[in-house]
Amino acid sequence: MDGHIPALDLRRIRDDFPILSERVRGKPFTFLDSGASAQKPRAVIGAMVRMMETAYANVHRGAYHMSEVATEAYEAARGAVARFLNAGDVREIVFTKSSTEAINLVAHSYGRGVLKPGQAVVISEMEHHANIVPWQMARDAHGIELRVCRITDAGELDMDDLAAKLADGRVGLVAVTHMSNVLGTVTPAERIARMAHEAGAKVLFDGSQAAVHRRVDVQALDADFYVFTGHKLYGPTGIGVLYAKAALLEAMPPFLGGGDMISEVTFEKSIWAPIPAKFEAGTPPIVEAIGLHAAIDYVQSIGMAAIEAHERALVDRAMATLPHIEGLTLLGRAQDRGGVFAFALDTAHAHDIATLLDRAGIAVRSGRHCAEPLHERFGVESTCRASFGLYTTPEEVDLLAEALRQAREFFR
Amino acid sequence: MTDLFGDLRDLYQEVILDHGRKPRNFRRLDDATLTARGDNPMCGDRMELFLKTAPDGHIEDAAFQGRGCAISMASASLMTETVKGKTPAQAKQMGEAFRELAMTGTCPHCGGDIADDMERLTPLSGVHEFPSRVKCATLAWHTLNAALDGAKEASSE
């Protein structure tokens, strides 16, 4: 037994999230869409309210007490993020408004600013649109070649294809998900980073899903870039994070221009501020940073290992039931996976299923989950997706399975 | 667990489930004079509509192909049945009335010449209680408009 990981006190945890006691259509609210955006604990809500009520002013500007207090809180949030990712240097943390903006920042400042036309960027077939479209834009504007690494029928990254895509040495960056928002697949990040580096490429991980479910150590992964977002980590919307190695940030031109990102401005030219300020033009999401800090404190007070163990039990329970539902097709069967399940039913379209589940108080996402190419890869028009959070209970997983059985009958 | 879905039979009435499972006029029209594609990019609902119009403009035949949810398939199926024999003006009038029916559940403009046909479409009125599903029901009618206007693409996003 190495089981020193305490089981989560689910009742207490659920009490931390006020919205979970809401009723939907007369039924308990069964929220299985945390992969789209997670619910917020009181600790996050309270920290943001307290900030606005007692410690709010613009940051990095005022030579007055309240601005200093706000600046200190904002920079403390950066420190918390750095520790959360085990970054070696707090200057390696850039706040953005979302993962999407963080990837756009890299696509612009590194893709167009550092990579040379003719160099290639490798993405994969299981990327979210946020890790596809910015690279297409860089390709079209800057002459970068875009290569798409295949995935296997099990929904895992095809490592042989990755090696092939890297073989000619022209790849400047590998930008792939750390955990698929559709298949739940967790990618072998360390191995991907090693392969990329051996081929002379940098590596970016889209950790929007992964950072919520697992302990991420950017130094152990040897990630060059790592992005995640606050609102999926039980924090607020409007705040995302870019981690990048300091030397890379130093070498990259800015993304957005404006206040806060310069040290000197004349009408002839401007001199960029040191990192990370160089990449934080304009008034940043101050209250949201404080909310993210509270969210990180919250998940760390529970423990990432305990959260991971809880979610693994939920995944095992889902895998023991969902694939056995008659007529249900589950997308992807990755060995290493998190609590995200996309599926289709033979008798009903994803939207009809979602409407039925909604009547039972169950919230799932339906459609293509910002991953159209992935749905084409698997030859399905659309799917429903159930995604778990730290507050998800085994009973909710069972309720989903029962509701799906009944939904299939409903449409027969 | 018996009452998991409550009153959803109001939305998924038998006629909708029936047309959703076995859509009528689900085929290509090789001699179509007007066609248009309809697309719900967020949902993945797609359809192609075929109209065969007579020299005087009235719709002699209507058919469609595509994939989508029960609501969008049933709506397209019922639409192709009800617009046959109509002039373009009548068909557009029905589309206007239907969109109001789908959004509000009531149909103040469903009387007159089109009353009988609109009656056939009323099982779809339940979608008004599901704002995210209204566009499923109206996709076929947006596509019809596009076809009649000579546009090639329609979207109900």
Contact A406 B4 (CB under 8 A): yes
Residue A251 and residue A328 in one domain: no
Mean pLDDT, residues A106-122:
97
C-beta neighbour count of A180 within 10 angstroms:
34
Q: Pick from A285, A300, A315: which residue ends a domain?
A: A300
Q: Tokens 């991420």 label which residue?
A: A216
What is the percent of chain A with per-residue pLDDT over 90, rounded to a whole number? 89
**In this structure, are A319 and A247 located in the same domain?**
no
Report CB contact under 8 Å: A355, B133. yes
DSSP codes, B95-142? HHHHHHHHHHS--TT--GGGHHHHHHHGGGGGGGG-GGGHHHHHHHHH
Confidence (pLDDT) at A311: 95
Cβ neighbourhood burial of A267 (10 Å; 0-12, 13-18, 19+): exposed
Q: Which residue has the higher pLDDT, A237 or B9?
A: A237
Q: Is the pLDDT of residue A411 over 60?
A: yes
A294/A288 Cα distance (integer angstroms): 10
The pair of structure tokens assigned to B26 is: 């689900």
What residue in B sits closest to A406 (Cα-Cα)? B4
Q: Which of residues 139-168 of A touch B (CB under 8 A)?
A: none
Q: Judge whether A55 and A67 are in contact, CB under 8 Å.
A: no
| Residue A284, in any domain of the structure | yes
Q: Is residue A62 part of a domain?
A: yes
Catalytic one of A122, A370, A371, A374: A370
Domain count along chain A: 2
Query: CATH number of the domain that A405 lies in?
Result: 3.90.1150.10
Residues A307 and A296 in one domain: no
- Within 8 A of B6 by CB-CB distance, chain A residues are 25-26, 359
pLDDT tens per residue, range A332-385? 999 999 999 999 999 899 999 999 999 999 999 998 888 888 988 998 888 999
| CA–CA min distance B42, chain A (Å) | 6
The rounded distance, in Å, linking the Cα atoms of A142 and A165 is 20
Mean pLDDT for B3-11 is: 80
Residue ranges making up the domain that contains A383: 10-38+303-410
Look at domain B4-150 and name its CATH class.
Answer: alpha beta
Q: What is the pTM of this model?
A: 0.92
Same domain, A272 and A333: no
Structure tokens at A47: 């920290």
Residues A76 and A130 in one domain: yes
The closest of A4, A5, A98, A1 to A311, measured between CA atoms, is A5
Contact A351 B6 (CB under 8 A): no
Confidence of residue B2 (pLDDT cuts 50, 70, 90): low
* pLDDT over 60 at A2, yes or no: no
| Domain regions of chain B by residue span | 4-150
Give yes or no for residue A1 having a pLDDT over 50.
no
**pLDDT of the residue at A371:** 86
Nearest residue to A398 via CA among A360, A351, A355, A346: A360
Interface predicted TM-score of the whole assembly (ipTM), two decimals:
0.85
Same domain, residue pair A325 and A262: no
Residue A101 lies in a domain: yes
The single-letter DSSP state of residue A203 is: E
- Cβ pair A381:B5 closer than 8 A: no
Cα–Cα–Cα angle for A314, A318, A319, rounded to 5 degrees: 115
Query: Does residue A216 lie within any of the structural domains?
Result: yes
pLDDT tens digits, A210-230: 999 999 999 999 999 999 999
Say if residue A33 is in the same domain as residue A167: no
CA distance A76 to A59: 12
Cα separation of the two ends of chain B? 35
- Lowest-confidence pick of A5-14, A37-46, B132-141: A5-14
| Cα separation values, A158 from A40, A123, A161, A264, Å | 36, 12, 5, 48
User: Per the domain annotation, does A3 fall within a domain?
Assistant: no
Note the pLDDT of residue B1.
46
Pair (A315, A261) in one structural domain: no
Q: What is the mean pLDDT of residues B124-139?
A: 92
Q: Is A11 exposed, middle or buried (0-12, 13-18, 19+ CB in 10 A)?
A: exposed
Q: Nearest 10 degrees: CA dihedral of A253, A258, A263, A264? A: 110
Cβ(A25)–Cβ(A358) under 8 Å? yes
Q: Would you say residue B101 has pLDDT above 90? A: yes
Least confident stretch, A97-106, A164-173, B111-120:
B111-120
Q: How confident is the model at residue B8 (pLDDT cuts 50, 70, 90)?
A: confident
Residue A220 lies in a domain: yes
Mean pLDDT of B18-46: 91
Residue A287 in any domain: the answer is: yes
To the query of whether residue A149 is one of the catalytic residues in this protein, the response is: no
What are the CA-CA distances from residue B143 to residues A150, B59, B66, B157 (Å)?
A: 35, 15, 12, 12
- CB of A234 closer than 8 Å to CB of A298: yes
Same domain, A227 and A192: yes
- List beta partners, residue A241: A95, A228
Quickly list DSSP for A315-339: HHHHHHHGGGSTTEEES---SSB-S
Last residue of a domain, one of A254, A272, A300: A300
Q: Does residue B157 register a pLDDT over 60? A: no
Residues of B in contact with A352 (CB under 8 A): 12, 20, 69-71
Residue pair B68/B143 in contact by the 8 Å Cβ criterion: no
**Would the CB atoms of B4 and A355 count as touching at under 8 Å?**
no
Which residues have CB under 8 Å from A76's CB, separation 6+?
A: A293
- Residue that finishes a domain, picked among A300, A326, A351: A300
Quickly count: other Cβ atoms within 10 Å of residue A52's Cβ: 12
For residue A48, give both structure tokens.
């943001």
Q: How is residue A272 written in tokens?
A: 């960029």
B126-143 burial, b at 16+ Cβ within 10 Å, e below that, comes to: bbbebeebbbbbbbbbbb
Own/partner long-range contacts of A398-401 (Cβ < 8 Å, ≥24 apart): A398/A317, A398/A321, A399/A30, A399/A360, A399/A362, A400/A30, A400/A32, A400/A318, A400/A322, A400/A357, A400/A362, A400/A364, A401/A318, A401/A321, A401/A322, A401/A325
CATH number, position A172: 3.40.640.10
Please check whether residue A36 touches B, CB under 8 A.
Answer: no
Does pLDDT of B33 surpass 80? yes
For residue A308, pLDDT over 60 is answered with: yes
Same domain flag for A50 and A196: yes
Pair (A209, A330) in one structural domain: no
Name the average pLDDT for chain A.
95
Q: Is residue A184 part of a domain?
A: yes
Residues A287 and A317 in one domain: no
Mean pLDDT of B66-91: 95
Instruction: Identify the pLDDT of residue A171.
Output: 98
pLDDT tens profile A127-158: 999 999 999 999 999 999 999 999 999 999 99
The larger pLDDT score, comparing residue A411 to residue A91, is at: A91
* pLDDT score for B40: 83
Give the pLDDT confidence score for residue B156 in this predicted structure: 65
Name the residue of chain A whose CA is nearest to B9's CA.
A410
